[in-house]
């Protein structure tokens, strides 16, 4: 087995800050082809509506049925496309960096978005999926990861997954955010075949509107850590100045850069003026958790308010 | 003959209350569950409300368009960061992810364009221990436009 390629500190900080990491086209064609073959072809003549298509695919596909809680490494037979995907060095390394080397399997699901012709005889109009956060209210600092696997190329017309970078630390109750339709900074997956999106379980997202003439597939696997998620990535690149503070606000135009501090204090287009600052604070708290060191701070956001005297 | 416009109907478990306005009166009528009239109150004053309502010529066939804007802070003249439309005329359909640019740059711009503000989220003090928790978008403004169906 190849050695896992762990994430760098900078990549890990990007995940802590924005809640996702994209690996464009990382899964080779042979695995994508095998996975698409496993899904199986349902003849168009048998299609009446999206739900019946789901039923047919679930009944006939070769995607394994796996119980929640089994070790991820036991979830798929070695010759299965999903086992091969998870064994890719970059994929294995990202999984290990985020949830450790012995994560447990939570669930998986083949998400499909259907083109307009699937709705001709349906009483349900074609629509994008509401914004939601998966599962339920989850206030943990420990986090699960969901891999979104796009086995074929996704064009803009196909309504790729919509997601909101940086939303993962907001604690909401699943589809309670469905009232929001559009949020500044929302992104839509358009990608090459074999792209993976690693997502913190808290990311706000939803399926898009498929206006192409093909069914769009996305396979999601959720995995849970079985250990404290502390310094699981390749920390060899953490600079010696990692705990040092830099000048803030009045920076003399030159600016003193520190990639990780910079990443943790970069705003998103949807940030509110006041809660945007809370997002920085929550990112720093998250980074402290990942480092296992409560002395870390970026731009003094926490040090300032922790300056208390008994 | 006085011309009354029905402005609201309230149902309870055994009564129905209808509030109507004319140019000079506000009339409250309460009906039993079998539909017979139980009480009638006429407020015989020239009330500004009645004046206003009648001069606005309420069109009961009008439909409501609702726009929700989320702003960067509690001021209406700050940037819109999120938005939604729900169209009661049924003539347009809006859904998640259908636009990348907001319809107005600020909430004030929506007012200037004739939208009526009908609700704003309150400012709530932070509960001890929860000061740094973030969740739902904080600054939510509901706007409406009443659209006569013949305009659609």
pLDDT of residue B142: 98
Average pLDDT, integer, range B46-73: 73
Q: Please give the backbone phi and psi of residue A71, each rounded to the nearest 5 degrees, phi first.
A: -60, 140
Chain B: give the shortest CA distance to residue A96, in Å: 28
Q: What percentage of residues in chain A have a pLDDT greater than 90?
A: 84
Q: Using CA atoms, how far apart are residues A198 and A146, in angstroms rounded to an integer?
A: 6
- Record: contact A182-B102, CB cut-off 8 A: yes
- Given a cut of 60, whether residue B50 has pLDDT beyond it is no
Task: Pick the closest to residue A222 from A129, A77, A99, A136 (CA basis).
Answer: A99
Q: Please give the backbone phi and psi of residue A303, each rounded to the nearest 5 degrees, phi first.
A: -55, -40
- With the C-alpha atoms ordered A269, B75, B87, B151, is the resulting torsion angle positive or negative? negative
3-class secondary-structure state, position B131: coil
Give pLDDT tens digits for B27-49.
888 888 777 887 777 776 555 55
- Record: contact B102-A180, CB cut-off 8 A: no
* Radius of gyration, alpha carbons of chain B: 21
List the single residue in A with minimal CA-CA distance to B83.
Answer: A182
- Record: contact A181-B98, CB cut-off 8 A: yes
Contact A184, B81 (CB under 8 A): yes
- Record: contact B98-A169, CB cut-off 8 A: no
Treating both helix axes as pointing N-terminal to C-terminal, what angle do A9-18 and A89-99 enclose, rounded to 10 degrees? 60
Which distant-in-sequence residues (6+ apart) come within 8 Å of B45 by Cβ?
A: B24
3-class secondary-structure state, position B31: strand
- Record: contact B83-A182, CB cut-off 8 A: yes
| Mean pLDDT, rounded, of chain A | 95
Q: Report the residue from A209, A278, A285 with minimal CB separation from B95.
A: A209
Q: Report the residue from A206, A270, A281 with minimal CB separation from B96.
A: A206
Q: Report the residue from B68, B73, B99 with minimal CB separation from A274.
A: B73
Give pLDDT tens digits for B80-97.
999 999 999 999 999 999
pLDDT of residue B53: 53
3-class secondary-structure state, position B71: strand
> Which residues of chain A have a pLDDT value below 50?
none
In what helix (H) or strand (E) does residue A12 lie, and over which residues does it extend? helix A9-18
As a 3-state breakdown, chain A gives helix, strand, coil percent values, each rounded to 5, of 30, 15, 55
Report if pTM > 0.95. Answer: no
Give pLDDT tens digits for A173-199.
999 999 999 999 999 999 999 999 999
- With the C-alpha atoms ordered A7, A9, A12, A14, is the resulting torsion angle positive or negative? negative
- Record: contact A282-B132, CB cut-off 8 A: yes
Q: Using CA atoms, how far apart are residues A183 and B81, in angstroms rounded to an integer?
A: 6
- Given a cut of 60, whether residue B78 has pLDDT beyond it is yes
pLDDT of residue A295: 95
B84 vs A: CB within 8 A: yes
Give pLDDT tens digits for A122-159.
788 999 999 999 999 999 999 999 999 999 999 999 99
Residues of B in contact with A269 (CB under 8 A): 81
Query: Tokens standing for A97?
Result: 């960096």
pLDDT of residue B8: 78
| Mean pLDDT, rounded, of chain B | 85
Which distant-in-sequence residues (6+ apart) come within 8 Å of B7 by Cβ?
A: B19, B20, B21, B53, B58
Chain B: give the shortest CA distance to residue A221, in Å: 24
């Amino acid at each position: 087995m190849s050695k896992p390629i762990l994430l760098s500190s900078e990549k890990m900080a990007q995940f802590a800050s924005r809640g996702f990491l994209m690996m464009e086209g990382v899964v080779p064609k042979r695995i994508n082809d095998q996975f698409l073959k496993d899904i199986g072809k349902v003849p168009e003549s048998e299609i009446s509506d999206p739900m019946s298509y789901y039923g047919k695919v679930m009944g006939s596909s070769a995607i394994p049925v796996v119980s929640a809680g089994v070790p991820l490494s036991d979830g798929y037979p070695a010759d299965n496309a999903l086992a091969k995907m998870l064994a890719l060095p970059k994929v294995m390394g990202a999984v290990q960096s985020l949830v450790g080397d012995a994560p447990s399997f939570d669930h998986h699901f083949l998400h499909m978005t259907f083109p307009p012709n699937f709705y001709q005889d349906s009483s349900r109009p074609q629509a994008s999926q509401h914004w939601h956060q998966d599962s339920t209210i989850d206030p943990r600092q420990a986090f699960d990861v969901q891999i979104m696997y796009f086995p074929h190329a996704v064009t803009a017309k196909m309504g790729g997954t919509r997601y909101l970078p940086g939303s993962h630390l907001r604690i909401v109750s699943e589809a309670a955010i469905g009232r929001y339709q559009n949020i500044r900074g929302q992104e839509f997956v358009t990608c090459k075949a074999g792209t993976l999106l690693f997502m913190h379980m808290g990311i706000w997202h939803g399926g898009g509107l498929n206006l192409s003439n093909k069914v769009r597939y996305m396979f999601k696997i959720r995995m849970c850590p079985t250990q404290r998620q502390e310094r699981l990535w390749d920390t060899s690149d953490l600079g010696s100045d990692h705990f040092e503070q830099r000048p803030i606000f009045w920076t003399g135009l030159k600016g003193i850069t520190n990639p990780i501090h910079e990443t943790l204090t970069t705003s998103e287009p949807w940030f509110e003026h006041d809660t945007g600052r809370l997002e920085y604070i929550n990112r720093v708290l998250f980074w402290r958790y990942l480092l296992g060191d409560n002395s870390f701070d970026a731009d003094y956001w926490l040090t300032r308010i922790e300056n208390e005297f008994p | 003959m006085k011309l009354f416009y029905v402005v609201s109907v309230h149902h309870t478990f055994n009564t129905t209350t209808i509030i109507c306005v004319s140019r000079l009166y506000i009339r409250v009528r309460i009906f039993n569950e079998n539909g017979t009239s139980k009480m009638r109150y006429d407020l015989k004053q020239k009330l500004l409300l009645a004046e206003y309502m009648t001069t606005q010529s309420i069109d009961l066939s009008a439909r409501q368009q609702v726009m929700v804007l989320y702003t960067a802070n509690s001021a209406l003249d700050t940037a819109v960061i999120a938005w939604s439309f729900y169209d009661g005329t049924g003539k347009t359909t809006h859904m998640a992810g259908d636009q990348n640019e907001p319809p107005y740059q600020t909430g004030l711009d929506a007012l200037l364009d004739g939208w009526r503000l009908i609700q704003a989220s309150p400012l709530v003090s932070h509960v001890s221990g929860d000061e740094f928790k973030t969740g739902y978008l904080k600054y939510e403004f509901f706007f409406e436009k009443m659209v006569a169906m013949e305009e659609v």
